[in-house]
């Protein structure tokens, strides 16, 4: 009888301990508080124009790529060489004359913008996180104007 009682006690204790160790259901997560949470989003746009026209004297090619993101504005274009002087004048009206057809501005050693114009090629980049609002607007307006000018060729 003592053995039966010991076995019964061991069984009750085992069931009790097993019940204590049983998995409890997980607590659902609390929803975020949107009033104190900050949300940042990244916007980016890309415009690309590519056109080839056959001419009697050869080919007339146009390729313009504009990438506009939160932190950078980048333009790359190739066009007929005869348009280089007109493009130079448009850039010089905004950023001043340059004998080397290169414009660059730095602030405390960091590049703000760089524009390079060679015969039939244009490259430009502006780092928006360093530039002021007016410079960003001038840069974007200039290259939209150049894009429109070249597209209507």
Whether the model pTM is above 0.85: no
Interatomic CA distance for residues 125 and 67, integer angstroms: 9
- Alpha-carbon distances, residue 117 vs 29, 40, 92, 138 (angstroms): 57, 35, 11, 17
What pLDDT is attached to residue 29?
Answer: 73
**pLDDT, position 51:** 53
pLDDT of residue 47: 60
Regions of the chain short of the pLDDT cut 70: 11-12, 15-25, 31-60, 153
pLDDT of residue 6: 75
Query: Nearest CA to 62 among 72, 74, 41, 48?
Result: 48
């Amino acid at each position: 009888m003592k053995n039966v009682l010991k076995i019964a006690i061991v069984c009750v204790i085992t069931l009790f301990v097993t019940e204590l160790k049983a998995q409890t259901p997980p607590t659902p997560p609390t929803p975020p508080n949107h009033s104190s949470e900050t949300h940042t989003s990244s916007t980016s746009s890309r415009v690309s124009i590519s056109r080839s026209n056959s001419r009697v004297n050869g080919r007339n090619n146009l390729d313009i790529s504009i990438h506009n993101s939160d932190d950078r504005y980048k333009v790359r274009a190739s066009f007929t060489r005869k348009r280089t002087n007109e493009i130079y004048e448009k850039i010089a009206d905004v950023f001043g004359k340059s004998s080397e057809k290169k414009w660059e501005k730095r602030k405390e050693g960091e590049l703000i913008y760089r524009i390079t114009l060679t015969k039939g090629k244009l490259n430009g980049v502006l780092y928006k996180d360093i530039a002021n609002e007016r410079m960003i607007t001038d840069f974007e307006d200039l290259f939209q104007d150049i894009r429109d000018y070249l597209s209507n060729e």
